[in-house]
Amino acid sequence: MTARSLNAALLAVSDLPVDAAVVELKSLAEGGLERLRSAAAPRYLSILGLGAASDPGGDGCDLVVSTHPHPLQTAFRLEQLTRAAVAEEEFRLRRATFAGHGVDLPEPTMGDTPLQVLTAGAADRRFLALSNALAAAGAEAVAAPTPYTAFDYLHERAFDAAVLWGDRDHAPALSIAAGMRRNTRLYHIPLTLYLREKVEPDLAALFERGFADVAAAETSEEEAAERVLALARNHRRRQGLRRALDAVRGCDLMDPETGLFSRDLFAAHLARIAKGARERNRRLSVCVLRVPNSETMAAVRAGGWLERAMPQIGAMVSRLVRVEDTAARLSSETFALALPAADHAAARLTAERIAAVIACTAFDAGPNRSPFVVELDVGVAEMQPDETPAALLERASAQVS
């Protein structure tokens, strides 16, 4: 929706479930950003500013771009900003849940080291200028002239972001991106493609290949550096959130075999998430994944091999969800996911993706027997007005098929 004035925008964010705003900084009245965020409270409103960081209100935006980005690119960046906001909200809710059970969840830390950025591509005046702009902003830029040296660096040290220099066909950059997406340790590092020439790239295809941002050739090195660092800070913060959440995996409240939420802890947290979703006017979906009652599963159950595989399956579930998602083990063969800010379609896609990855994994069935696979049945439900958390979970469980 478009708001032609600040007053119209204030009405929109206060009455409707607005996740993010795109703001023309030059047309914004003084204090406008603060008023927008106050009107959206307690929901955090992510703001993408169009203009310069030096414009009034520029320092209050989550990200500032000097040019009007492609609509697909804008949507992708706003989705990233919203996910970061939801992750912060979820961490606060999770701290409260654990505190209610006598466990202190540590505050996530960003670390004391400078942001680490890999710049991959042949030496070029503009690429060197980008490295200088990153260094001037306090980041540590490491240059890799070839894909081979890029992967050497990626395997030797941790990076918060990577910038790949696009040539005429982007082949080296696409090669690096593909390799990173096949590695679970490197998968979440945000990638930016910096175009060398003025072209009209297929942004949809580039985003599908794993790029988090695409900077046009006319983008200044200073703005490109700012956008890369925004991604890097978001990545490091999310890594800190994950470490803080993982720190309690071994406590008595969690399922001892998988490290996931236990049934009782999940029930308590789901109630808190549901309350928070209503207060913030956000969506909430729940997924249930269950081992089917098939003849194949009956055979591996009888030998105890399915029971031996469940800890590994649970560990896979925990790695495949987002930072802001809550995964639980409801029973020996049933898992549940609480997905904040996700509608029914997005939740089903997430659950089916997890089930598909697990279905590609072979588990040991004992000597002289072929390994078996587990094709989890999936059920999904999106919270309806006035629906209780228990009813939501029951409805998702009833949808399992």
Length of the chain: 401
CB atoms within 10 A of CB 126: 15
> What's the average pLDDT block by block, 10 residues per block, for the chain (401 residues)?
86 86 82 88 86 74 75 79 85 92 84 89 81 91 88 91 78 82 79 80 77 83 87 85 78 89 95 93 94 86 89 89 91 95 94 92 86 94 95 95 78
CA distance 195 to 70: 14
Q: Which tokens in the block code for residue 313?
A: 């399956």
3-state secondary structure at position 290: strand
CA distance 193 to 216: 9
Name the CATH architecture for the domain at 263-398: 2-Layer Sandwich (3.30)
Residue written as token pair 């209503």: 278
Q: CATH 3.40.50.2300: which residues of the chain?
A: 116-246
Give the pLDDT of residue 172. Answer: 79
CA distances from 247 to 49, 103, 187, 255, 282 (A): 35, 11, 21, 14, 27
CA distance 283 to 39: 19
Tell me the DSSP string of 143-179: EESSHHHHHHHHHHS--SEEEEEE-SS-HHHHHHHHH
Q: Is the pTM of this model over 0.75?
A: yes
Whole-number percent of the chain with pLDDT over 90: 33
Q: CATH 3.30.70.270: which residues of the chain?
A: 263-398
Give the pLDDT of residue 167. Answer: 66
Q: Which helix (H) or strand (E) holds 133?
A: helix 125-136
Q: For the domain 116-246, what is the CATH superfamily, name and number?
A: Response regulator (3.40.50.2300)
Give the pLDDT of residue 24. Answer: 85
Give the pLDDT of residue 136. Answer: 92
Q: Which tokens in the block code for residue 173?
A: 């950059």
Q: What are 176-201's pLDDT values in tens digits?
A: 888 887 776 787 888 998 887 777 77
**254 DSSP β-pair partners:** 261
CA distance 355 to 332: 17
Give the pLDDT of residue 382. Answer: 97
